Structure 1
Amino acid sequence: MTKVKIPYSREFIPLDIPDKNIEGILESTAHHFKPDEDQESLVKNALENPIDSLLLRELAKGKEKIVLITSDHTRPVPSKITLPILLEEIRKGNPQADITILIATGFHRSTTREEMIDKFGKEIVDHEKIINHDCRDQQQLIKVGILPSGGELWLNKLAMEADLLLSEGFIEPHFFAGFSGGRKSVLPGIAGETTVLSNHCSKFISSKHSRTGSLKENPIHRDMMFAAKKAKLSFILNVVIDNQKKIIHAVAGDSLGAHQAGCQFVEDLASVKAKPADIVITSNGGYPLDQNIYQAVKGMTAAEASSKKDSLIIIAAACNDGHGGQGFYETFRNASGPQEVMEEILKTPMEKTKPDQWESQILARILMEHEVILVSDQCDPQIIKDMHMSYAKSLEEALDIARRKKGKDAKITLIPDGVSVIVKK
């Protein structure tokens, strides 16, 4: 019997699978990577050894307005560790600096005070200037150019008016941008609605280069790089985390050079060979990434990459926040099936891209080839069914359903943390 632990919400679900049924277990070696230093030391050493950049304290000297972009409540960036160190480093070079922490909400809702305290700690929330970016608030935005794709580039005014712009984040495989981190804090992080919609258009999502772990010729990544350059993103601190959300590696420095180094580290650890099977079980890495169905599509793409044409996909995701996007939900609820969703999206031109269309496109792509069973005891089952997926309250129940359809001898591939791997054919 093979025993695995599947991340779910803030815990892990134990699962036992007979050895004879196991086709493969796909895991990032990041989950077993043991760094030589503790988390704080990794961050401090990265800042003391920046890649292609001066020390942050040197960059901060003489700067009046400094804007530090950070991730929102949907990203597991360990800001309770990283933010205090970053703020201390800035103030070493400029004790009187006017620092604004700008939350890169992208296309998401604003981060609440309670979520800020959970993510940043009460000390920072009570004593630092923190602002939520709002991509739909035109008063926050300024047009700064045209993207390589042809879309208009609108970015947060505070960021554009800064004397020094830096960001923190984490690097993991990303299902259409290749990798998270770096330039992504600018686009979509602090970009306007029009810009995000253009960058996430159906043509780009359909590109064979817009896939997990792929940066070369990726049209979405190209736009993001352009946006970061226009924003004059001068310095980044990006970390790599394990399945306990603990820092195992950190890079700092130039927004391009440091990000490339971090991506290479992740690729070396996260690349796994596909093991197509009758049933593929995965997750969205637990909290905070599995708060809604919208985010859970990411984990599904890992299962998709290791599936046969008719494989059945099981994903465990708490989805306590429901669907994660009204438009995303209604697109499926109002359609006869995923084929109708896909046809409608593919005929939508870039300039008419709808909110959350990209997530709908990827989910439709998966559902056109696979039945998906979403496992949750915290989400309304009707929402899941409305979105043309099957529902199960537990992994055991989902497996029973899958075995009835695929047979008791069906082969099973396990991808315990779907957002942490780069599945290669």
Structure 2
Amino acid sequence: GLIEPHFMAGFSGGRKLICPGLAGLDTVRAWHSPRFLEHPNANNGCLAGNPVHEENTLIARRTGCDFIINTVIDDHRRILAVFAGDMEAALDEGVAFVRGVVTDTVPEPVDVVVTSSAGYPLDATYYQSIKGMVAALDIVKPGGTIVLAAAVSEGIGSPEFRGLFDETPSLDVFMDRIARDDYFVMDQWQLEELAKVRRKAKVKLVTDGLPAETVARLFVEPAASVEAAVEQCLAEYGAGATIAVIPKGPYVLAQLG
């Protein structure tokens, strides 16, 4: 398994090899439900009090795991470290190592965050690109703007995920739907993560992969370039607006501190 920041479970690796890795659909559905994902600790880099992490750790314990191997890689996909042995102990050691590598801080929330989804494969689809938006969430001001550059070369995502945009007039309507026990669509959790972002900030998407009219249906604003998006933000927030840049959003723990 690979240990890196994860926008729901805190970090990947360890117990995630079993849940959701080996889990049935009913378990995947429950584990990705608003009951878990709407908790404030279901977030990048957070394990303490994170119900997503706690639930799949419990499932993995009950399933049983005798030995695990986790790796950490650099931005050239070379192995930096290997953590093996007990499922939980190896994950804890790996997480401590990763925190030291990927954490960076800003002293206070900023008006604008310029980021990316770290290139292929994490920006191949709009579904994956949402991870870059979530990575900026902790440091952007309420009412601020996230400028995301992503190729989106393979389109929006799965047929189920694409269909959500066709049948969802607003994110408020979507959140009401997923709160019902009788509603479930595969990949709905990614739109829920987008809803989290949009409750706090605006998003401008810079991409060559989708036409502007399609982007406008995805609950974000299209922008012709990063430069144009930043100019629009400065016009809105003023010349003294604060801006942070996260070159590879999903691989960085951007925090206040």
TM-score with structure 2 setting the length: 0.90
Cα deviation code 1:125-176 (max 9, x no counterpart): xxxxxxxxxxxxxxxxxxxxxxxxxxxxxxxxxxxxxxxxxxxx21111111
Q: Unaligned regions of 5+ residues in structure 2, if any?
A: none
1:330 correspondence with 2:157: no
> Match of 1:315, SS?
strand
Cα deviation code 1:65-116 (max 9, x no counterpart): xxxxxxxxxxxxxxxxxxxxxxxxxxxxxxxxxxxxxxxxxxxxxxxxxxxx
What is aligned with 1:300?
133
Q: After the TM superposition, list the runs of 4 or more consecutive aligned residues in structure 1 that deviate by more than 6 angstroms.
A: none
Shift of 1:356: 1.6
Give the AA of the match of 1:210: A
What is aligned with 1:81?
none
Q: Is the 8 A contact 1:176 1:210 kept in 2?
A: yes
> Match of 2:67, SS?
strand
2:223 to 389, 392, 402: 392
Task: Within 5 Å, give how 1:311-330 maps onto structure 2.
Answer: 311-330=144-163
Larger strand percent:
1
Shift of 1:353: 3.9
Q: Is the 8 A contact 1:276 1:413 kept in 2?
A: no
Q: Unaligned regions of 5+ residues in structure 1, if any?
A: 1-168
What is aligned with 1:39?
none
> Judging changes above 3 Å, is the alpha-carbon distance between structure 1 residues 205 and 299 closer, same or farther for their aligned structure 2 residues?
same
What is aligned with 2:99?
267
1:356 correspondence with 2:187: yes
> Match of 1:368, SS?
helix
What is aligned with 2:254?
423
> Judging changes above 3 Å, is the alpha-carbon distance between structure 1 residues 354 and 378 closer, same or farther for their aligned structure 2 residues?
closer
In 2, Cα distance between the equivalents of 1:419 and 1:361?
A: 17
> Judging changes above 3 Å, is the alpha-carbon distance between structure 1 residues 268 and 318 closer, same or farther for their aligned structure 2 residues?
same
Task: Within 5 Å, give how 1:53-202 maps onto structure 2.
Answer: 169-202=1-34
Give the AA of the match of 2:79: I
What is aligned with 1:280?
113
What is aligned with 2:209?
378
> Which of the pair has more CA radius of gyration?
1
Shift of 1:200: 0.7
In 1, Cα distance between the equivalents of 2:65 and 2:213?
A: 43
Shift of 1:315: 0.9
Shift of 1:222: 2.0
In 2, Cα distance between the equivalents of 1:213 and 1:372?
A: 22
> Match of 1:234, SS?
coil
In 2, Cα distance between the equivalents of 1:194 and 1:380?
A: 36
1:206 to 33, 38, 41: 38
In 1, Cα distance between the equivalents of 2:169 and 2:185?
A: 19
Seq. identity, %: 35
What is aligned with 2:177?
344
TM-score with structure 1 setting the length: 0.56
Q: Is the 8 A contact 1:202 1:348 kept in 2?
A: no
Q: Is the 8 A contact 2:125 2:154 kept in 1?
A: yes
Q: Is the 8 A contact 1:333 1:387 kept in 2?
A: no
Shift of 1:394: 2.9
What is the number of residues matched between the two proteins?
255
